[in-house]
Structure 1
Amino acid sequence: MARRVLLWVGDEAVHEAAGRVLHSVMDAQRAEELMRSYGEQLIERGRQQGREEGREEGLSRGRAEYILRTLALRGVHADEAARERILGCTDVATLDRWFERSLNATTLSEVLDDLAQ
């Protein structure tokens, strides 16, 4: 239970206060073990979050590169601004829509312009 409370506590000052409370109610060795365990869990949580963000970024980047390759194969020139827009996009739905459009596009505007207008 105490470990769950420590994991929930994100503020450093509150974390330090929680550590002092632990030291006052249990022996120093057990409190240190609990705090070390807490630290290890925080590190692992950070690693997991980093892996997930990296995976999402990699998927977006891959989709963007496929769009650019498809446009190039179709003879559609993407200027630097368009390349940056495509490569900078992280919304998977938008990238998927652009990719589908790129399969038949003859101009860049057919891919990037909002067709709902």
Structure 2
Amino acid sequence: MPTYLHEALAELVRQQPQFAVDLVTDLGGVPVPDYASVTLDSPDLTETTPIEQRADGVVTLHHDDGDDGAAALGIIVEVQLEPDYKKHYTWPAYLVSLRNRLKAPVVVLVICPRPRTARWAARPIHLGGNSRIEPLVIGPADVPAITDPEVARGHPELAMLSAITHHENHAVLDALFATFTPDIERSYMYADLIRTVLPDTARTYLEQLMSAPTWQPKSDFAREYFNKGKVEDRAEALLEVLATRSIPVTDEARRRITECTDVDQLKEWFRRAITAATVDEVFGADG
């Protein structure tokens, strides 16, 4: 199941397809053909076999304006958090499928926010004989620490990737915060989105900049993942308190806790769990 971090990185490309091109050229150092337009295309790379194959994103460069122009280059975007050797079979299949669909060259771009995974993903994939493919990997070492607010404002997607990669650097978070303004498209969505993936220390620092008590998620995407995260965290914390206090939890009670989607209700149960003697006392008047 995709994690918040995986979805957040993939969403940057879905929101701004040009970002994939920038990663290929600016960070990857790979030249691309002359092009007039960039479009986000279907990530469905299924062939005639019944096995569904979907990349995290597909971006196409066109020789002419609009998505009807002949393709100049296809970019398959994959977010990889951990090594997964099955990808040594699916990535070549993605490449062949898209190349056949576009009748144009194709690049497999892999975004890896963790060094170990980046080193693994950069290994050539040997297909047999002398045939092989080499994914274009963007790892932490390739992502600059964006500390200049003006640079961040000019490249908000790169500023987001920089904050995810270099979250321990407060100057990077300061620069990212400078992009959270109404005049930058998608900025409020990114403000919500980054809070779902930063470690606690970095998120706390950013929330101080954002006046956390009054900041609320404003985008549908961020609201879904941020609220889901709060619910899951509350449920897990409640179960940990019950376990620490050696309060037996029946399968029915555990299911009730884990399936609850009301954050306020979970907070109330958590408060009661601190002094309750049984799980029934935790649920109390709520039944």
Q: Provide the TM-score with structure 2 as the length reference.
A: 0.24
Higher percent of residues as strand: 2
* Aligned with residue 275 of structure 2, among 70, 83, 104: 104
- 2:260 maps to a residue whose letter is C
**Percent of matched pairs sharing the same residue:** 34
Q: What are the residue-to-residue correspondences of 1:10-29 with 2, within 5 Å?
A: none
How far did residue 114 of structure 1 move?
1.1
SS of structure 2 residue aligned to 1:114: helix
What is the aligned length? 75
1:72 matched residue in structure 2: 243
In structure 2, what residue type is equivalent to 1:97?
A: E
Q: 265, 273, 286: which is aligned to 1:94?
A: 265
More helix by share: 1
The offset of 1:78, in angstroms, is: 0.9
2:244 is aligned with what amino acid?
A: L
Q: Distance in 2 between matches of 1:74 and 1:87?
A: 19
The secondary structure found in structure 1 opposite 2:238 is helix
Moved over 6 A (4+): none
Matched residue SS, 2:285: coil
Contact 1:74 1:105 (8 Å CA) reproduced: no
Aligned position for 2:166: none
Corresponding residue for residue 85 of structure 1: 256
Please tell me the root mean square deviation across aligned C-alpha atoms, in Å: 2.6
Q: Which has the larger radius of gyration?
A: 1
Q: Using the alignment, how far apart are the partners of 1:83 and 1:73 within structure 2?
A: 15
- Larger RCO: 1 or 2 (CA < 8 Å, sep 6+): 1
8 Å CA contact 1:75, 1:106 repeated in 2: no
Deviations 1:48-81 (CA, angstroms, capped at 9, x unpaired): 4122111101101100111100001011011111
Amino acid at match of 2:262: D
Question: Matches of 1:113 and 1:61 in 2, distance apart?
Answer: 21
Bigger mean CA offset, 93-102 vs 48-57: 48-57
Shift of 1:99: 0.2
Matches within 5 A, 1:29-48: 48=219
